[in-house]
Amino acid sequence: MQKTKSIIYALFAAAFYAINVPFSKLLLNHVGTATMAALLYLGAGIGIGIMSLFNRREKSAKLDRKDLPFVIGMIVLDIAAPVFLMMGIRYGSSSSASLLGNFEIVATTVIALAVFKEKVSGRLWIAIALITLSSGLLSFEGTDSFRFSYGSLFVLLATVCWGFENNCTRNISSKNTYEIVILKGIFSGLGSLIIAMIKHERMPRITYIAVALLLGFAAYGLSIFLYVRAQNALGAAKTSAYYAVAPFIGVFLSFVFLRERLTGMYLIALTVMIAGTALVVADTLIRQHSHLHQHTFTHTHDGSTHTHTITHSHEHSHYFSDGKHGHHHSKEELAKEAAR
């Protein structure tokens, strides 16, 4: 029963994040790009801040001074990424922007490999190649045109920023989740608001402000909250696998609410992206390795002590996970999951 509830939490977390792109596309008709990014993050920070007032069970350590470089990096990158994303949504299609979000997997993995020297499996390299190919196909405007889509370029810039941000947040992932999300939301939102003022963007009507704040609370704030709840029962890797459906939910919502048409190039890119995402899920969920173990038993009978060494091998699982806008996992969490 608890696992079923957690699966529902994980799918709702993905669905909440998926509504970000198509509904932001609608709001961008009335709200500037930087202002929209600011309102989304402020909605997440304020909403989760209110939720934290009713929380009495959070026992994680609070952030301290040595975490400051990673916190600053996280906030600066979270200012840039959503601004780029909103520009990409404004100048490109919502469905393409949803799928291009999966390029964040590529960015995060390559940065982790280059900066933190993390190992990348052969399966994941194939997935990276497929997702990169799909992203390239989505970056051109249809089968009859080889003009590069500037909307796609901005979305890809956003995913690279989030790739760097994921690696910053990974270093503070064992700290208080509420505190991290509130800092992300409030300071990233204020940073984007300053950019909006520099660009002389007009403040939208109060109705659009309220809707954008609510969207931010759901798409960023509640998404992270439900993700963490699901993780308590499912573990980090399985929750991440369920969360991988988010871009495809976003595509479906784009077709339903925005009536975006399917092109031949888009269908090819969609197929390639699904294949790449499936490989990421497979790599994330489980890797089987055979290890040789020795167990030594000492026992006494007939007045003498005997020692026996038994050697055997068995299969066991290692779990891995890629972060998603603050959904990151410490070594302690992964160790706990491997013990399940």
Q: Write down the pLDDT at residue 157.
A: 93
Q: Write down the pLDDT at residue 196.
A: 95
How many angstroms separate the Cα of 318 from the Cα of each of 38, 71, 277, 340? 38, 29, 19, 11
Q: Compute the distance between CA of residue 190 and CA of residue 202 in angstroms, rounded to an integer.
A: 16
Q: Write down the pLDDT at residue 239.
A: 59
CA dihedral angle for residue 32, residue 88, residue 21, residue 201, rounded to 10 degrees: -10
Q: Write down the pLDDT at residue 311.
A: 43
Q: Write down the pLDDT at residue 292.
A: 39
- Report how far Cα 300 is from the mean position of its chain's Cα atoms: 56
Q: Write down the pLDDT at residue 141.
A: 58
| Regions of the chain where pLDDT drops below 70 | 1, 58, 116, 118, 120, 140-148, 228, 231-244, 262, 284-340
User: At 140, phi and psi to the nearest 5?
Assistant: -115, 150
Query: What rounded mean pLDDT belongs to the chain?
Result: 77
User: At 215, phi and psi to the nearest 5?
Assistant: -60, -40
Domain locations in the chain as residue ranges: 2-338
Q: Write down the pLDDT at residue 11.
A: 83
